[in-house]
Amino acid sequence: MTAVPRYANFAKETLAFLGALAANNNREWFKANKSRYEEQVLDVALRFIQSIQDPLHEIAPHSPRGFDKDHEFIDDIKRKSFIAVKNVQRDDCLSPQFQRKVESSFKAAEPFMRFLCKSVGVPF
Residue 4 neighbours by CB distance under 10 Å: 16
Q: Residue 111: left if φ>0, alpha if ψ -120 to 50, beta else—which one? A: alpha
Q: Where are the domains of the chain?
A: 12-120
Q: What is the pLDDT of residue 63?
A: 46
- pLDDT for res 36: 96
Q: What is the mean pLDDT of each run of 10 residues along the chain (124 residues)?
A: 66 93 96 96 89 79 64 68 79 90 89 81 79
| Cα angle 1-38-3, degrees, rounded to a multiple of 5 | 20
Q: How far apart are CA 95 and CA 85, in angstroms?
A: 19
Q: Is the dihedral of CA 82, 68, 119, 114 positive or negative?
A: negative
Helix axes 43-59, 98-120, angle to 10 degrees: 50
- What is residue 5's predicted lDDT score, i.e. its pLDDT? 57
Question: String of b and e for 5-37 (b: at least 16 CB within 10 Å)?
Answer: eebbbbbeebbebeeebeeeeeeeeeeeeeebb
71-81 burial code (b ≥16 CB/10 A, e <16): eeeeeebeeee
The DSSP element (H or E) to which 26 belongs, if any, is none
